[in-house]
Structure 1
Amino acid sequence: MATGILIIGESGSGKTTSCRNLDPKTTYYCDLDGKGLSWRGWRSQYNKENKNYTRMANAKAIMDLLQGVSDKAPSIKVVVLDTLNAIMLAMEMEQRKTNTYSQWMDLAVNIYGILDMIGRLRDDLTVVCIAHSQTEQNDMGYCLTRMKTSGRKLDKIVPESKFTTVFLAKGNDGKYIFETRANQSTAKTPMGLFDEPEIDNDLVPIIARLREFEQG
């Protein structure tokens, strides 16, 4: 069972930047948005020549890649999927003229398939899923920030339920942090992993701490 981490947040909140210190030799980056990464020198770290970078937003291709990394690339310890919303948008654009029940069911099935697959990958692999967030307010005025989804089928699935670790990325006055627990959001971490309600947005110590926690 691979370790899954979900990072949600608004654009510019430091989601992609949290990957800046990951080792390119042991990381495979799936740039699903096709926008490039957000730190100096990333092109020399992640590229096709290094065989650690791809741009695509096809759900089936992503699942094939995850399985291939798990089975045939033991040197890769971290896979980043940035962002899951790009898969949903790509499917919406491809099927924009249909607007049928099956369209939204296919979208939900594909996203669920990727998230469900994480639990079947090798134990020493960490899959980091990045997604945009949305904040909703109910009739009583209560606000909740959660992963932004397309279609009610995915809302019913609740993508966060497939993870034990969900971070809400936030940026303010040049400081970028992850919230580690629910504060009108779906953020959560395993009991006892983080005492701090906020931590630096650096995935290297976070993954190390999570791995140590899992081993007891």
Structure 2
Amino acid sequence: MSITTFVLGESGTGKSTSLRNLNPESSFLIQIRQKPLPFKSKNWRQIERQDNGSWSDGNIFVSDNPAKIVRALRKLPDHVKTIIIDDFQYLMSNEFMRSVTDELQGNAVFHKYNCLAKNAYEVIDTATNCPSDKRIYIMAHTQTDEFGRTSIKTIGKLLDEKIVLEGMVTIVLRTQVINGNYLFSTHNNGHDTVKTPVDMFNEDLIKNDLNAVDTAICEYYDIGKESENV
């Protein structure tokens, strides 16, 4: 079972930027919505399909197809240890927007939302069941309910009320921007879903450096990382 971490936050608060210090040679980025990385990234290369049906070398896979993402997660090469899924909520919202013109009624509407929830659940379930030396980071936006509780952004109530996606993982970080500093919060504030194992992080706020987070996780769970350093 992999170590899967949610990194939650609003757009522009440092989720994608936190990848900047990861080693691209041992990392794999799944972009659900294609966009340029917010830092110099010559060693991050998009995988492209060739005329002969093979795939080019690369470490960025772009797709919002849940089945393709599940297959990619199940076929990760041995040298890939750090996997990032960015921006997870578009897995649901892209499919939702493609169907807004469909004339659905009654059970058809209910079935549509169930399918969206099922697809999202299967991606996270597959991620958490990857080999134990893999660390998977799922980036997503947040939503705040009428009671002021902030959690991962979804579509529909099934994932929020019946599944609770954060309950599927042990680590949830949340972005914070304070006085121009981009940070991750590591402990629950009573109104969000942030959580980390006991004594993994002593500080309530740490730099938004996913490589540093990954190192802390490897040290905590005694996972070797020496060969992955840049």
Asked if TM exceeds 0.5, the reply is yes
- CA–CA separation in structure 2 for the residues paired with 1:154 and 1:83: 17
Deviation at 1:215, TM superposition (A): 2.7
Query: How many pairs are equivalent?
Result: 208
Instruction: Give per-residue Cα distances to partners, 1:27-51, cap 9 Å, x unaligned.
Output: 1111112122111x22443333542
Does residue 154 (structure 1) correspond to residue 159 (structure 2)? The answer is yes
SS at match of 1:117: helix
Structure 2 unaligned blocks of 5 or more: 48-55, 224-230
Rounded to whole Å, the distance in 2 between the matches of 1:126 and 1:10 is: 23
Greater mean alpha carbon deviation, residues 144-153 or residues 49-58? 49-58
In structure 2, distance between residues paired with 1:205 and 1:44: 19
Question: Which residue of structure 1 aligns with residue 186 of structure 2?
Answer: 180
Change (3 A) 1:43 1:32: farther
Matched, 1:109 2:104: no
Q: Which residues in structure 2 correspond to 1:1-216 (within 5 Å)?
A: 1-39=1-39, 41-48=40-47, 49-69=56-76, 73-96=77-100, 97=102, 98=104, 100-138=109-147, 143-156=148-161, 157-183=163-189, 184-215=191-222
TM-score, normalised relative to structure 1: 0.91
In 2: Cα distance, 1:45 partner to 1:109 partner: 30
Partners of 2:22 and 2:151 in 1: CA distance: 26
2:83 counterpart letter in structure 1: V
Residues 103-137 of structure 1: CA distance to partner in whole angstroms, max 9, x if unpaired? 01011111111111123211111111000011223
Largest Rg, 1 or 2: 2
Classify the secondary structure of the residue corresponding to 1:13: coil
**CA–CA distance in 1 between the matches of 2:121 and 2:134?**
19
> Cα offset for 1:86?
1.0
Q: Given that residues 29 and 46 in structure 1 are in contact (C-alpha distance below 8 angstroms), is that contact kept between their aligned partners in structure 2?
A: no
Contact 2:66-2:123 at 8 Å conserved across structures: yes
Q: What is the rounded CA distance, in whole Å, between the counterparts of 1:196 and 1:161 in structure 2?
A: 23
- Per-residue displacement from partner, 1:175-198 (whole Å, max 9, x unpaired)? 100000111211110111111111
Q: Tell whether the 8 Å contact from 2:184 to 2:208 is kept in structure 1 after alignment.
A: yes
Aligned with 2:22: secondary structure? coil
Contact 1:47 1:54 in 2 (8 A): yes
Distance in 2, matches of 1:177 and 1:54, equals 27
Structure 1 vs Structure 2 CA RMSD: 1.5
Q: Provide runs of 4+ in structure 1 moved above 4 Å.
A: none
Contact 2:151 2:193 (C-alpha < 8 Å) held by counterparts:
yes
Fraction of identical pairs, as percent: 29
TM-score (norm 2): 0.86
